[in-house]
Amino acid sequence: MYRLLRAPFRPVTYSRWLHLCVPLLLLAIWMFINPAWPWAPLLIVIPFGFVPWVRLAEGLQAQFLLTPSDRGSADSRISTAPSARWSDRWRTLLWLEIRLVVASAAMFATVSLPVMSVELVATALGHSLTADPMLPFTPPRWAAALLAPVPVIVLLFVVVLLGEVITAIARRLLGPSAAERLTALEARTEQLLERTRIARELHDSIGHALTVAVVQAGAARAAGDPAFTDRALMAIEETGRAALEDLERVLLVLRESAQPPSQRPTLAEADRLLESARASGAAVDARLTGPLEKLPGPVTREGYRILQEALTNVLRHCGPVPVRVRVEMAGDRLDLEVTNPMPERPAVTVGGGSGLRGMRERAALLGGEAATGPYEGGWRVRARLPLERIR
């Protein structure tokens, strides 16, 4: 009852009423052509049901008039795509037929019920009715005065009811097919994966730069040596510049929704990571063997990020300690290992993060594996990335 009382004040009531009235144009035109066959429009619309673009037009019209609040939403339950399969064409045809039938009921109510109200008002005022009245009987004048608003209320109820019915039918017959839902799900999944990749890029590049800056600034303040301070500031500048380049790459993804993978750093540029760690005070023993420049794109890019995160964690949690880095192409895989001793003092910076999980996720996406944890009294990050599956 409350919903019925609210209906006159809801714009969607009138937009749905307009949607119900649109097919009346076809019916009205046909009545001028051959009123003896009022059911002929049901046959006329059959060929249109098999035209792919009719489904798109009907979907747009239904979204605009039946569900305006969902228009443009990714969660809209009414599709605006042309018919791609015969199942879509048959559903479009069924929709056109049902829409004509429901529109006929709406037309009858829209015309007859207001006329009944007018006739009741005329009867209440003492006027005689026409020779063919809509009222099934002529009530007394006092009863006509009381009943005059009833047809209008009934019309409102019928419009709301038929609007709900046609909306439910539209969502059923014009809704996305199974193939369209699968396509939308795949697009949503790709979007989420892209967001995850962007989050990892920001975490790895910006996190690495900030960690180096914090370690360098702390070391410079503790050393009290102007020469060391100059070297620390230079290292902070170089690391910050590299982080800005990484940030520009990530922002390019956000601005253009597409980034050439070749623009992302690779293991061929691992020297800058090693030099950054050395500039932070860590004694890095690095050995990179094999033609790393020939690595497949996904492997060399994700390997770079895993190495970057491993070095960042060393500086963040252990400070400038000795680090052993081994990167090697071993047959059909890339082996990457970073080990360091555990410090006796508390970590330079504390706080949990998603870096270790991110390394495992990067390796898993390539069909490889990454393991992190204590190793011979220290800490080890070990990743194995297959090459054959990527080529």
Question: How would you classify the pairing of strands 323-330 and 284-289?
Answer: parallel
Q: What angle do CA 335, 339, 344 make, to 5 degrees?
A: 170
Report how far residue 251's alpha carbon sits from residue 146's, in angstroms, rounded to the nearest whole number: 69
- Give tens-digit pLDDT for 296-339: 888 888 898 899 888 888 887 887 889 999 999 877 889 999 99
Of 359, 384, 346, nearest to 309 (Cα)? 359
Q: Is 166 a residue whose pLDDT tops 90?
A: yes
CA distance 251 to 268: 23
Report the candidate in 377, 367, 309 with the shortest Cα–Cα distance to residue 338.
309
Distance of alpha carbon 136 from the chain centroid: 56
Predicted confidence at residue 194, as pLDDT, reads 66
How far is 39 from 224, CA to CA, in rounded Å?
96
Q: Do the Cβ atoms of 70 and 77 come closer than 8 Å?
A: yes
The pLDDT-based confidence of 348 (bands split at 50, 70, 90) is very low
Question: What average pLDDT does the chain have?
Answer: 80
Question: Nearest CA to 20 among 205, 125, 160, 211?
Answer: 160
Residue 232 DSSP one-character state: H
The band of 287, judged by pLDDT with boundaries at 50, 70 and 90, is: very high
Among 322, 318, 323, 324, residue whose Cα is nearest residue 343: 318
Q: What is the DSSP string of 294-358?
A: GS-HHHHHHHHHHHHHHHHHHHHHT-S--EEEEEEEETTEEEEEEEEEPPSSPPSS----SHHHH
- Give the global pTM: 0.50
- Nearest Cα to 204, choosing from 303, 296, 280? 303
In order, the DSSP letters of 113-177 are HHHHHHHHHHHHTTPPP-SS-SSSS---HHHHHHHTTHHHHHHHHHHHHHHHHHHHHHHHHSS--
Query: In the chain, what is the greatest distance between 2 CA atoms, to the nearest angstrom?
Result: 111
Task: Name 18's Cβ contacts closer than 8 Å, sequence gap at least 6.
Answer: 65
Distance CA 17, CA 160 (A): 8
Q: What is d(CA 317, CA 379) in angstroms, rounded to the nearest whole number?
A: 11
Q: Is the pLDDT of residue 248 over 50?
A: yes
Q: What is the pLDDT of residues 193-240, one digit of tens each?
A: 667 766 766 766 677 677 777 777 777 776 667 777 777 777 777 777
Q: Among 358, 350, 269, which residue's Cα sits nearest to residue 306?
A: 358
How high is the pLDDT of residue 354? 66
SS3 72: coil
pLDDT at 43: 84
pLDDT(265) > 70:
yes
Is pLDDT at 2 greater than 80 in this prediction?
no
Q: How many CA atoms lie within 13 A of 389 on its CB side?
A: 13
- The length of the chain is 391
> Which of 267, 266, 386, 389 is closest to 331 using CA atoms?
386
